[in-house]
Structure 1
Amino acid sequence: MATPPGGLAFCVFPTAIGHCALVWRAPGVVVGSALPQGSARDTRDAVTAWYPGAREAVPDGSVAAAAAGVAVLLETGAGDLSGIDLDLAVVPEFDRRVYEVVRTISAGDTLTYGEVAARLGAPGAAQAVGQALGRNQFPPIVPCHRVLAAGRQVGGFSARGGRHTKLRMLEAEGVHLEHPTLFDV
């Protein structure tokens, strides 16, 4: 099914960490995404609540490639999602600037909230960076999981599973913030 004329479409797709979703408008511009919300049904329900009127559709072209890229990233920790076209029209200017910086962080690398603020030319705005990332409507395309608190601490993460999900996503990319226990070896 094609994108509804003038409307929004979404797809729910399986990944290594659960069912994710992409929401788009023609011609394949992503307006939002969702990390797993529990089950495929829970993800679908969340998307329809966040984007009333969006219709489920089979993605093609750039949206199908984006879904495949998200799935690969979450399975292998590899991949580059920086080429996915995002609709940032309703995103506040500061948040947009934060997302631009965060999208330059490669898989396997991290920055702190303070380092992102410094790259924005706004040292001291680490808390504002964290708030912007808490509003991120494009995870993991805008890879907020790669932004850490001072001292390489995990920091916050608003996705289902919070800190545990963030650690799993980082570990898939080869970033290990915590040493394994005897039970993890």
Structure 2
Amino acid sequence: MGSPRSALSCLLLHLLVLCLQAQHVREQSLVTDQLSRRLIRTYQLYSRTSGKHVQVLANKRINAMAEDGDPFAKLIVETDTFGSRVRVRGAETGLYICMNKKGKLIAKSNGKGKDCVFTEIVLENNYTALQNAKYEGWYMAFTRKGRPRKGSKTRQHQREVHFMKRLPRGHHTTEQSLRFEFLNYPPFTRSLRGSQRTWAPEPR
């Protein structure tokens, strides 16, 4: 039997390996993954406070005043890592939702910066909060009138930062069923030649 000291050493070594693995996963979730295949989703963001949907307009304005099915409310959400970090852009305009150093939501044509990355946080009430990756603790938020609220004035428990994901009107999750084409082959008749049976086409 091994000594208690060797058993304790093995246990400590095992715990160290687990800690290093957990740290690696945590660090990788904070780094943009350029190699993995990114997942792209399409949905609307319903604001809990305004009762409308987030939209990105052509004049680079962002608000939560769009009705269900509005073309500017259709959002393309791209995963940034294997975790829950995403980039959100308007499907109609191609502009990304970003946050500047003052906490104001702005629209950019180039969404590669960390200020255009948000972490999706699923809350206990089944709503989703979007925390900016560059300015930790600052969230995407809108007032009751649908106007953007500065991220520096937001907290996770506030209704202004709560959103619900909705599919755009007329958008289906399943692909359309495939159409099959049937080819018309000429009918075959059976003929006997000696002891062998062969298949031959019927005469026209």
TM range (shorter): under 0.3
Structure possessing the higher radius of gyration over alpha carbons: 2
TM-score when scaled to structure 1? Answer: 0.23
Say which structure is richer in helix: 1
TM-score, with length taken from structure 2: 0.21
Q: With a CA cutoff of 8 Å and minimum separation of 6, indicate the structure with the bigger relative contact order.
A: 1
Q: Please state which structure has a larger fraction of its residues in strand.
A: 2
